[in-house]
């Protein structure tokens, strides 16, 4: 038997999803469990998530390219203290910045879940794990890669 503490996840009620023209494709793809990233159809470089224009060439010809979700932990924190009461049953959880593989350093803010706290490190390889909420929103989360 191990006394290992595992990373939980923040509660669903914490945020309500709002979308606009430039983030809709991301969240629509998430419903189908596809992680899609914005890439410029003109200059072929990755764009900022949610931006209306390609920052490299100002094009609005943004296409959405599927990504495997493999990446590395760029940084993280372990939330141990419930700063608001609704977090009471969710600590400890691990917000993390995930640097996705092969996309010019593009990073996602997400969570590392279902992993022993002691094994989560900067540089740890992670893989995608979808979380489906009751309201129909799906969130990309990550767990330590096998």
Partner 1 sequence: MKIAKQAAVVGIGATPYYRRGESHPQTFNELICKAIINATEDAGLSVKDIDGFSYYSFGTDTGLLMESLGIPEVRYSSMVSGGGGGSVGAVQNAAMAVATGAANVVVVPFCMQQPTGKRYGSIMSQIDPTPDKAFFMAGGLVGPGHFFAMLAKRHMHQYGTRREAFCEVAMSTRENAITRPGARFQKALTKEEYFAGPMIADPLCRYDFCLENDIAGALIITSAERAKDLKQRPAYVLNGEQGGRREWGRSIAWMNMPDEYFASAGHASIAKHLYADVGITAADVDVALLYDHFSPMVVMQLEDYGFCARGEGGAFVEDGNIRFKGGSIPVNTHGGNLSEAYAVGITHMIEGVQQIRGTATNQVKDAEIALVTGGPASLPVSGLLLSR
List residues binding partner 1 (CB under 8 A): 9-11, 14-20, 22-23, 27, 48-50, 74-81, 83-84, 86-87, 90, 93, 95-97, 105-111, 122-123, 139
Nearest to 42 by CA among 24, 54, 25: 54
Report 49-68 residues binding Zn ion (CB under 5 A).
Answer: 54, 56-57, 59
Q: 140 with 69: CB under 8 angstroms?
A: yes
Nearest to 111 by CA among 97, 124, 123, 90: 97
Residue 122 binding Zn ion, by CB under 5 A: no
| Number of residues in contact with Zn ion under rule CB under 5 A | 7
Q: Least distance in Å: CB of 53 to partner 1?
A: 13
Q: 43 with 57: CB under 8 angstroms?
A: yes
How many CA atoms, within 13 angstroms, populate the side-chain half-sphere of residue 60? 3
Tell me the two tokens of residue 94. 């691990």
Residue 37 binding Zn ion, by CB under 5 A: no
Which of these ranges, 5-13, 28-36, 41-49, 81-89, lies near Zn ion under the rule CB under 5 A? 41-49
Tell me the two tokens of residue 124. 């740890």
Binding site for Zn ion (CB under 5 A): 40, 42-43, 54, 56-57, 59
């Amino acid at each position: 038997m191990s006394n290992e503490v595992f990373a939980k996840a923040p509660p669903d009620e914490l945020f309500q999803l709002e979308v606009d023209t430039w983030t809709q494709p991301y969240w629509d793809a998430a419903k189908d469990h596809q992680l899609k990233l914005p890439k410029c159809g003109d200059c072929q470089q990755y764009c900022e998530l949610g931006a209306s224009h390609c920052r490299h060439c100002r094009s609005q010809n943004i296409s959405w390219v599927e990504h495997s979700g493999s990446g590395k932990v760029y940084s993280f924190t372990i939330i141990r203290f419930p700063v608001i009461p609704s977090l009471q049953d969710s600590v400890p959880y691990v917000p993390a910045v995930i640097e996705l593989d092969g996309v010019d350093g593009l990073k996602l803010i997400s969570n590392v879940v279902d992993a022993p706290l002691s094994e989560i490190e900067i540089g740890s390889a992670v893989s995608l794990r979808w979380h489906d909420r009751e309201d129909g929103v799906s969130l990309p989360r990550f767990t330590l890669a096998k």
